[in-house]
């Protein structure tokens, strides 16, 4: 279940909540904004596959928990975001432009390595993106639909957060086999996550 799919019922994208390390939750003020009974809207959301919990909070917001947040990695298409006017140099971690462009280049490299190492492009299983580093990337990606319709999306901060989350995942949750490891479904899932990141972060093929 993805935020885009939830938006089809809610009428607007929900906002991800928490760290997602334990559970993947969203909150939505759709019932208040659309002036529909919160329980009625909650009932419609409960009928969706992949939704494990829907609560109506005292303030009228809906709290929604999805069972397989990794599915959203398969639904992030390329987006044309304005690249902030960051300088190319210095190429250090203090330069947000370097942080973002290097993350994009790393994700592009993963796609090349995956082809060379025989990681199957088919057979994506979102439930395998359940490690803490994968989930941190997913958590930031889940904000994208809401930011795309926001009047103040805050792209500079968002791109840096996504880049930093991906750097951690790249280093601690490899998307391609290491050593004598054989390509497996988890690599297919993480390569798909890398592909989603390349569609959001601006940057060159190589850096």
DSSP 133-180: HHHHHHHHHTTHHHHHT-SS--HHHHHHHHHHHHHHHHHHS-SS--TT
Region for residue 173 given its phi and psi (left: phi exceeds 0; alpha: psi -120 to 50; beta: otherwise)? beta
**pLDDT tens, position by position, 123-169:** 999 999 999 999 999 999 999 999 999 999 999 999 999 999 999 99
183: closest CA among 114, 112, 126, 110? Answer: 114
pLDDT on residue 82 = 85
pLDDT on residue 103 = 98
Strand pairing category for 24-28 and 51-56: unpaired
């Amino acid at each position: 279940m993805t935020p885009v799919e939830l938006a089809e019922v809610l009428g607007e994208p929900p906002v991800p909540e928490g760290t997602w390390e334990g559970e993947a939750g969203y909150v939505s003020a759709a019932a208040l904004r659309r002036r529909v009974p919160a329980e009625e809207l909650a009932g419609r959301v409960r009928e969706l596959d992949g939704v494990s919990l829907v609560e109506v909070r005292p303030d009228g917001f809906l709290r929604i928990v999805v069972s397989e947040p990794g599915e959203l990695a398969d639904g992030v298409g390329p987006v044309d975001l304005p690249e902030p006017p960051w300088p190319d140099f210095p190429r250090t971690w203090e330069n947000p432009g370097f942080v973002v462009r290097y993350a994009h280049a790393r994700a592009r490299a993963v796609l090349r390595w995956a082809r060379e190492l025989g990681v199957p492009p088919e057979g994506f299983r979102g439930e395998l993106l359940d490690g803490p580093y994968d989930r941190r990337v997913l958590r930031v990606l889940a904000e994208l639909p809401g930011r795309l319709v926001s009047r103040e999306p805050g792209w500079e901060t968002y791109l840096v957060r996504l880049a930093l989350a991906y750097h951690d995942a790249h280093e601690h949750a490899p998307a391609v086999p290491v050593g004598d490891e054989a390509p497996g479904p988890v690599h297919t899932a993480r390569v798909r996550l890398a592909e989603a990141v390349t569609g959001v972060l601006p940057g060159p093929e190589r850096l």
